[in-house]
Amino acid sequence: MSRLVPVLGDQLSRGVSALREADPETDIVVMAEVTEETGYVQHHPKKIALVLAAMRKFAATLADDGWDVRYTRLDDTGNAGSIVGELLRRAEETGASEVLVTEPGEWRLISKLKHAPIKTRILPDARFIASHQEFEGWAEGRKQLRMEYFYREMRRKTGLLMDGDDPVEGRWNFDHENRKPAPDDVDFNGPMHFTPDETVEEVLDLVEARFGEHFGRLRPFWFATSEGEARRALSHFISKALPKFGDFQDAMLAENRFLYHAVISAYINIGLLDPREVCEKVAAAYAAGEVPINAAEGFIRQIIGWREYMRGIYFLEGPDYTDRNVLAHDRDLPGLFWGGETHMRCLSKAVEQTRDEAYAHHIQRLMITGNFALLAGIDPAQVHRWYLAVYMDAFEWVEAPNTVGMSQFADGGIIASKPYVSSGAYINRMSDYCKGCAYAVSRKTGEGACPFNLLYWHFLDRHRDRFENNARMGNMYRTWDRMDAEKRETVLSEAEAFLERLAAGETI
């Protein structure tokens, strides 16, 4: 008896568990473009186009490999509109009575498959280095689940950048070397661009017609949509940009959107690149003397450390994680996040880049849009849905912990030991955004004062009971307490006035 083997849009790898266990002689691959997956949030058009184009090409690859692939396009007559609906339709068509599927990366879809009216076996996603059981074992009994210690276990397990039992060059972490401010010049032209072929153009036309009202610009579209193209993009990054990636990975420039970043996270997350292989190529470049240790280690840490840790937290904490809101923040996400006018140049540039590229690097997300949302008290569920919608690499297993935990501190400190908040000084140090801004980053109060300066102290004041005894925040409160009472009152009143204007929909 044949089985149905669904391959989801973020499982585009020959090595996924379900394909490894299935038999191409008897089992049937099911792939489907369905409205339930394109519409549960208003995904960026570029993200939808990437996934659909890559799905179509991967389906063709599987067919060439000898699989019987039943593929449903978004505009096909009879499309059931959901993954489970398509499985039931194909089961009736083929007589199959069982589904063999690799575990999805969202609780939402796992639940739907578990409750499907057809026998369904969900296999672990073996593309990750740490299984759920391994992460649970590591987390058990620990008072704090700090990524750094998990990362060291992943280094030991993989052998990456290891010298026997010790890290190469005697240190686990070279992050201190990776905090240089924005350079005057960037001698890298950005990630590799690919000209859309016939398959991609067909998808772009479909996305333009169906999702043209979504936030984000669809064209130009230059992303890799096949394994071969993604591998070329990786090689381009390693040879041209990785040597300086570490130095400037936290830097931001208004007119250079990529600096030395790889922009391959989406390719890894949908399966076009294998994360372990990516890290092995980076480690080989370091071993060959082509890149410095701070660049190689910083990049590898993001994948086998941070990426794996985020997935571990997401599945450890369970389906209610995205509902966490320990700070009781309840303001609505302002229109500026959807491209509305703002006089704050850093936010304007970060959102503009997000709109155009479906991409922003980790510091733009954490310390510009995320920092502002946290300081302003925006509802973290709304912030979570925004990040999930607008970024090409956003899938809930990795996006939700980064947003709910790291960025918004809504989980109460499971991920972050303190909230990631800053005044305008940090943004000014790490970027050129403050140049030409309508607000003055040096001004703490009064006309033209940087809103980050006001909101920073307002946040600390309103959450004093929670954070004043935090070992990493004591100096901030001592600085606040040393200010004279009149100045503190001015800061708080001006911050309140700013928040009132924000809530009223005024241009801020």
What confidence score (pLDDT) does residue 19 get?
98
Average pLDDT over residues 157-174: 96
Could you give the CA distance from residue 488 to residue 501 in angstroms, rounded to a whole number?
20
* Residues in contact with 17: Cβ distance below 8 Å, sequence separation at least 6, in sequence order: 102, 103, 123, 124, 125, 126
358 torsion bin: left (phi>0), alpha (psi -120 to 50), beta (else): left
Assess contact for 414 and 405: CB atoms under 8 A.
Answer: yes
Give the pLDDT confidence of 455-495 residue by residue, as tens digits: 999 999 999 999 999 999 999 999 999 999 999 999 999 99
Amino acid at 187: D
Could you give the CA distance from residue 456 to residue 404 in angstroms, rounded to a whole number?
19
Superfamily (CATH) of domain 335-503: DNA Cyclobutane Dipyrimidine Photolyase, subunit A, domain 3 (1.10.579.10)
**Whether pLDDT at 252 is above 90:** yes
User: Using alpha carbons only, what angle is made at residue 172 by residues 258 and 407, rounded to the nearest 5 degrees?
Assistant: 50
What stretches of 275-344 show up as alpha helix (H) in DSSP? 275-287, 293-300, 308-317
Amino acid at 125: D
Could you give the CA distance from residue 374 to residue 367 in angstroms, rounded to a whole number?
10
> 4-123 adopts what CATH topology?
Rossmann fold (3.40.50)
What percent of the chain shows pLDDT beyond 70? 100
Could you give the CA distance from residue 42 to residue 370 in angstroms, rounded to a whole number?
19
3-state helix, strand, coil in the chain (%, to 5): 50, 5, 40
* Residues in contact with 274: Cβ distance below 8 Å, sequence separation at least 6, in sequence order: 13, 15, 127, 268
Task: Return the CA Rg of the chain.
Answer: 24
Could you give the CA distance from residue 261 to residue 306 in angstroms, rounded to a whole number?
16
What confidence score (pLDDT) does residue 100 get?
98
Could you give the CA distance from residue 464 to residue 457 in angstroms, rounded to a whole number?
10
Q: At what angle do helices 451-462 and 474-482 cross, to 10 degrees?
A: 110
450, 382, 392, 448: which is closest to 422 by C-alpha?
Answer: 450
**Whether pLDDT at 4 is above 90:** yes
* Residues in contact with 220: Cβ distance below 8 Å, sequence separation at least 6, in sequence order: none
Assign 329 a pLDDT band (cuts: 50, 70, 90).
Answer: very high
Domain ranges in the chain are 4-123, 132-211+224-316, 335-503
Assign 421 a pLDDT band (cuts: 50, 70, 90).
Answer: very high
Reduced to 3 states (helix: H, G, I; strand: E, B; else coil), residue 378 is strand
Give the pLDDT confidence of 19-73 residue by residue, as tens digits: 999 999 999 999 999 999 999 999 999 999 999 999 999 999 999 999 999 999 9
Largest CA distance in the chain: 79
> 132-211+224-316 adopts what CATH topology?
1.25.40
Tell me the pLDDT of the chain averaged across its residues.
Answer: 97
Instruction: Cis check for the bond before 220: say yes or no (omega within 30 of 0).
Output: yes
Could you give the CA distance from residue 419 to residue 430 in angstroms, rounded to a whole number?
19
67 torsion bin: left (phi>0), alpha (psi -120 to 50), beta (else): beta
Higher model confidence: residue 183 or residue 324?
324
Amino acid at 80: A
CA distances to 99, 417, 479 from 475, rounded to whole Å, are 57, 15, 6
Average pLDDT over residues 441-446: 96
Reduced to 3 states (helix: H, G, I; strand: E, B; else coil), residue 40 is coil
Q: Is the dihedral of CA 178, 180, 181, 187 positive or negative?
A: negative
**Cα-based torsion angle of the residue sequence 242, 247, 248, 251 in order, rounded to the nearest 10 degrees:** 160
Q: At what angle do helices 45-64 and 198-211 cross, to 10 degrees?
A: 140
**Whether pLDDT at 1 is above 90:** no
Could you give the CA distance from residue 60 to residue 69 in angstroms, rounded to a whole number?
8
Give the pLDDT confidence of 196-243 residue by residue, as tens digits: 999 999 999 999 999 999 999 999 999 999 999 999 999 999 999 999
What confidence score (pLDDT) does residue 182 get?
85
Assess contact for 193 and 222: CB atoms under 8 A.
Answer: yes
CA distances to 16, 94, 470 from 124, rounded to whole Å, are 9, 26, 38
Give the pLDDT confidence of 293-322 residue by residue, as tens digits: 999 999 999 999 999 999 999 999 999 999
Assign 394 a pLDDT band (cuts: 50, 70, 90).
Answer: very high
Q: At what angle do helices 451-462 and 485-503 cross, to 10 degrees?
A: 110
Average pLDDT over residues 394-414: 98
How many Cβ atoms sit within 10 Å of the Cβ of residue 268?
22
Assess contact for 108 and 37: CB atoms under 8 A.
Answer: no
What percent of the chain shows pLDDT beyond 90? 98
- DSSP letter assigned to residue 271: T
Assign 184 a pLDDT band (cuts: 50, 70, 90).
Answer: confident
- DSSP letter assigned to residue 253: B
Give the pLDDT confidence of 98-138 residue by residue, as tens digits: 999 999 999 999 999 999 999 999 999 999 999 999 999 99
How many Cβ atoms sit within 10 Å of the Cβ of residue 439?
21
Give the pLDDT confidence of 255-298 residue by residue, as tens digits: 999 999 999 999 999 999 999 999 999 999 999 999 999 999 99
pTM assigned to the model: 0.96
First to last CA, the chain: 63
**Residue 68 CA to chain centroid, in angstroms?**
33
Residue with tokens 């059931």: 80
Could you give the CA distance from residue 125 to residue 18 in angstroms, rounded to a whole number?
9
What confidence score (pLDDT) does residue 9 get?
98
Could you give the CA distance from residue 422 to residue 437 in angstroms, rounded to a whole number?
18
Write the secondary structure of 156-173 as one string of H (helix), E (strand) and C (coil): HHHCCCEECCEEHHHCCC
